[in-house]
A and B are shown apart, each in its own frame.
Chain A
Amino acid sequence: MKILVAVKRVIDYNVQIRVKEDGSGIVTDNVKMSTNPPDDNAIEEAVKIKEAGKATEVVAITVGEEKAQETVRKALAVGADRGIHVKVDGILEPLAVSKILQKIVDKEKPDLVFMGKQAIDDDCNQTGQMLSALLNWPQATFASKIDVKDKKLEVTREIDEGLETIEINVPSIVTCDLRLNEPRYASLPNIMKAKKKPIEEILASDLGVDISSRIEQLKVEEPPKRKAGIKVANVAELVQKLKNEAKVI
């Protein structure tokens, strides 16, 4: 069984996001970038399945600019066998990414496609679902537990009401939740070895898919500043203020 894992380069989760002064986007120059956190879980799970002898190959793929290759390199350092980098400049929407992934799936013919449940930059939570539709493959989203059973997967999903366990057929798409596992550290010798693993570079423009934007971005703004709070003398005053001023009760 072969697993394709999609990883995305995003602004590191510790970095405070800053909006460009002209409202055209966010500042990314010299900002620390990392792999989208749930994508790390997706890689970890794929590597674990391979280590358990249930998969034969783990291929990491990213779609993005030159430096996005760092995320593939990191995936290789924690156990992926080889990488694919689909090169494209600028920001792609989920539909465009899923069309690109569809092309790669046609070529690579994996049995499973893993990815994070959503990326922490645009929070779209769409790519896995769209890819599932394009391929007409079953999907299991928000996975917090995956059991590989022959030609089926048993997946526990994190849903609003609690946990839902479903069984889906292979081939399929799984999007991973942060609770799925604890990603391992890349050790220094493995980082060295990863430098020698192959990464295939493909130009997005060579794949023959329409990746143009469907959404026009009008403006990016910071959320309004929180106003200073006030101190109330007692519960009665609090209730009165909530009722009459805030009008929430």
Chain B
Amino acid sequence: MSRESMEYDVVIIGGGPSGLSTAIKLKQLDSSLNVCLLEKASEIGAHILSGNVFETRALDELIPNWRELNSPIKTKVTKEKFLFLGKTKSLSWPTWLLPSVQQNHKNYIISLANLCRWLAEQAETLGVEIFPGFPASEILYNEDGSVKGVITQDMGIDIDGNKKDSFEPGIELLGKVTVFAEGCRGHLGKQLIKKFELDKGKDPQQYGIGFKEIWEIDDKNHDEGLVMHTAGWPLDNSTYGGSFMYHAENKQVFLGYVIGLDYKNPHLSPYDEFQRFKTHPAIKKIIEGGKRISYGARALIEGGFQSLPKMYMPGALLVGCDAGTLNMPKIKGSHTAMKSGIIAAETINYHFKKGDNLSVYEKIFKESWLYKELYKARNVKPSFSWGLILGIIFTGIDQILFRGSLPFTLKHRHADHETLKPANQMPKIEYPKYDNVFTFDKTSSVYLTGTNHADNQPVHLKLKDPNLPINYTLEKYDEPAQRYCPAGVYEVQKENNENKFVINSQNCIHCKTCDIKEPSQNIMWVTPEGGGGPKYGNM
């Protein structure tokens, strides 16, 4: 098919903190550059979901006068708490005993979606062309194998693959350099990592699934600026995870839960763990009388330093969590994503001006605070593979006594899709019924996300083998997709006494968990028609 094409100096895929920072820095370094940025959501911010306690270090570098520009960074962290939860009891851990990476007194409680909207305004003011509603669906290569650009998703194709009257072919966006900033498990980033073997010699990437709800709570329970984290119940000692609760402005709390996707029990339902977590007395008393106003979920990167792929390749760079720059012990990825974007822009500037190879990325990265930060943090996540208690003890030694400088690096041994044990070897988990006050079913949760995909379009969750879910995964693992999907996309239904695997792709909130956790890697997440997916407000 012949397509229209447009040429740019730099094409950026993804309007999150890393992509937007790349765009802004590029224009600051050279305002004559033609830079465009594609975003699959209907607007910038609509697919962004994050805690978020924000460290301003990268933003201070990028836009030093951000305080004067009406940025949505307002609520300073004033107090911190860390609780160990038992089933009904809770134990408060003194914050002075927390590693310094987990202390937040200089940070801010923000909505990352709103920060991205604001960054997009800054980028547009500098002349960046931002196109929301246009997913990049394919990578284009030059004859020499280098990345040439991307093709945007075709619009107006029906479920059988036929062109509708409204068919609008995707166009080729060609960049002298293309920057991939799709976030965790980007579907093009994944292809690039494979094609250019960017993860050669690295540990398998580790992921988590993060949930977030926004609650409007009673005045008397609200403590603006309070940051609280918990570990322990409802997860067992061998499952990695914990909660966050941030008291933001306007009587809102950002309440969330993160669970490592290396969990072993296929009966575990991350969604239901989060729901029942809210019924713990220590949590319940805060949200009692409040109202849940938002819900969302997104996979995140936990692999850190050991799993970080090479971030440059011929014609392209990989930034933010499309590569995996999140700092796990800090539970923060926004400032690191932004810094990786800044480094990408500096690299491209050298490349254009001095003819340097894009591999100069590696050099700038290694000299940066980002590298030091990720290096120091490297041993925390793998130590939790020994369980919560040993993990905490090791982390205390590693982070408080040695400040991340122990002379060895622990390995991540397995990819997350390899960790499930057969269903018949693991205990079943009975989750309590939803009470519609503190806990809710998936349908009413997805309703809050504003998720929609245009009717009658091809299913964007592809099965490599359509029979595998019923013929293999159901029997061996009790088809865990029914439980790990936070939006109820996957169901096993009985039809005439036969099991049928149903994919409700219109519910998909683009979290990518299925692409990561499916034990046979049988599910592939690809881009749906532009503008589809959730419409998160201030997540």
Q: Given A21-B216, A30-B538, check contact A189 B4 (CB 8 Å).
A: yes
Q: Given A14-B452, A30-B538, A32-B450, check contact A188 B131 (CB 8 Å).
A: yes
A191 in the interface (beta carbon within 8 A):
yes
Give the docked Cα–Cα distance between A192 and B448 (Å).
33
Q: Given A188-B6, A188-B131, check contact A182 B447 (CB 8 Å).
A: no
The reply to whether B535 and A12 form a contact with Cβ atoms under 8 Å apart is: yes
List the A residue with the shortest CB-CB distance to B447. Answer: A16
Which secondary structure dominates where chain B touches chain A? Answer: mixed
Residues 236 to 265 of chain B near chain A (Cβ within 8 Å): none
Give the docked Cα–Cα distance between A71 and B537 (Å).
19
B103 in the interface (beta carbon within 8 A):
no
Query: Which residues from chain A contact B156 at a C-beta distance below 8 Å?
Result: 185
Contact for A32 among B46, B152, B171, CB less than 8 A: B46
Query: Which residues from chain A contact B537 at a C-beta distance below 8 Å?
Result: 15, 29-32
Give the docked Cα–Cα distance between A157 and B114 (Å).
43
> A209 CB to closest chain B CB, in angstroms?
33
Query: Which residues from chain B contact A192 at a C-beta distance below 8 Å?
Result: 6, 129
Residues 4 to 18 of chain A near chain B (Cβ within 8 Å): 12, 14-16, 18
A138 in the interface (beta carbon within 8 A):
no
Which secondary structure dominates where chain A touches chain B? Answer: loop
Q: Given A12-B450, A14-B451, A182-B166, check contact A30 B535 (CB 8 Å).
A: no
The reply to whether B168 and A187 form a contact with Cβ atoms under 8 Å apart is: yes
Could you say which of B117, B171, B450, B538 has the most chain A C-beta atoms within 10 Å of its C-beta? Answer: B450
Query: Which residues from chain B contact A185 at a C-beta distance below 8 Å?
Result: 155-156, 166, 168, 530
Q: Given A14-B451, A185-B155, check contact A30 B117 (CB 8 Å).
A: yes
Give the docked Cα–Cα distance between A34 and B173 (Å).
26
The reply to whether A15 and B45 form a contact with Cβ atoms under 8 Å apart is: no
A184 in the interface (beta carbon within 8 A):
yes
Give the docked Cα–Cα distance between A183 and B155 (Å).
12
The reply to whether A191 and B131 form a contact with Cβ atoms under 8 Å apart is: yes
> A71 CB to closest chain B CB, in angstroms?
13
The reply to whether B43 and A32 form a contact with Cβ atoms under 8 Å apart is: yes
B293 in the interface (beta carbon within 8 A):
yes
Q: 1/0 contact trace for A179-200 toward B, CB 8 Å? A: 0001111011101100000000
The reply to whether B535 and A14 form a contact with Cβ atoms under 8 Å apart is: yes
> A58 CB to closest chain B CB, in angstroms?
18
The reply to whether A30 and B134 form a contact with Cβ atoms under 8 Å apart is: no
B147 in the interface (beta carbon within 8 A):
no
Residues 115 to 163 of chain B near chain A (Cβ within 8 Å): 117, 129, 131, 134, 152, 155-156
Could you say which of B42, B113, B173 has the most chain A C-beta atoms within 10 Å of its C-beta? Answer: B42
> B200 CB to closest chain A CB, in angstroms?
35
B165 in the interface (beta carbon within 8 A):
yes
Query: Which residues from chain B contact A184 at a C-beta distance below 8 Å?
Result: 166, 168
> A166 CB to closest chain B CB, in angstroms?
26
Give the docked Cα–Cα distance between A187 and B5 (Å).
12
What are 15 A-B pairs with beta-carbon distances under 8 A? Answer: A12-B535, A14-B452, A14-B535, A15-B450, A15-B535, A16-B447, A16-B450, A30-B113, A32-B42, A32-B43, A34-B42, A185-B155, A185-B168, A187-B171, A189-B171
Chain A residues engaging chain B, CB cutoff 8 angstroms: 12, 14-16, 18, 21, 29-32, 34, 182-185, 187-189, 191-192
Chain B residues engaging chain A, CB cutoff 8 angstroms: 4, 6, 42-43, 45-46, 111, 113-114, 117, 129, 131, 134, 152, 155-156, 164-166, 168, 171, 173, 216, 293, 447-448, 450-452, 530, 535, 537-538
**Given A15-B535, A184-B166, 19 further pairs, Cβ under 8 A:** A12-B535, A15-B537, A16-B447, A18-B293, A21-B216, A29-B537, A30-B117, A30-B538, A31-B537, A182-B165, A183-B166, A184-B168, A185-B155, A185-B168, A188-B131, A188-B171, A189-B4, A191-B131, A192-B129
